Amino acid sequence: MALTSAQYAQIAAAYERAAADEGFPTQSRAAFVKKAGWFRMLAQIGAAKEIGARSPASCENEKFLARFPLAGPGSKAPEQITREQ
């Protein structure tokens, strides 16, 4: 099951709250700190992947598709536009 970076961050925060709770034994709290660290790392990796997925090339594609929509009545393909000019 794939989670988003925000979900990983929420899980990490929950483990950090559990680690701060003095009602848990010391050994469990230490394990919660480790798990929180892992989930923080997964959140950071996920955020980096999300940022990397939005490369300049994909932004250019979005601008192109906004200018020349592919669906809908009266839409023109780029080759039709260049032939008409």
The structure's pTM equals: 0.61
Q: Which residues contact 68 (CB under 8 A, 6 or more apart)?
A: 75, 76, 77, 78, 81
- Higher-confidence residue of 62 and 45: namely 45
Backbone torsion region of residue 38, taken as left when φ is above 0, otherwise alpha when ψ lies between -120 and 50, otherwise beta: alpha
Which pLDDT score is estimated for 17? 96
Which pLDDT score is estimated for 72? 47
- Higher-confidence residue of 30 and 67: namely 30
Q: Where are the domains of the chain?
A: 5-84
Q: What is the mean pLDDT of residues 28-55?
A: 89
Tens of pLDDT, residue by residue over 15-26, are 999 999 999 999
Q: What is the mean pLDDT of residues 14-38?
A: 96
Q: What is the mean pLDDT of residues 23-39?
A: 96
């839409």: which residue's tokens?
A: 75
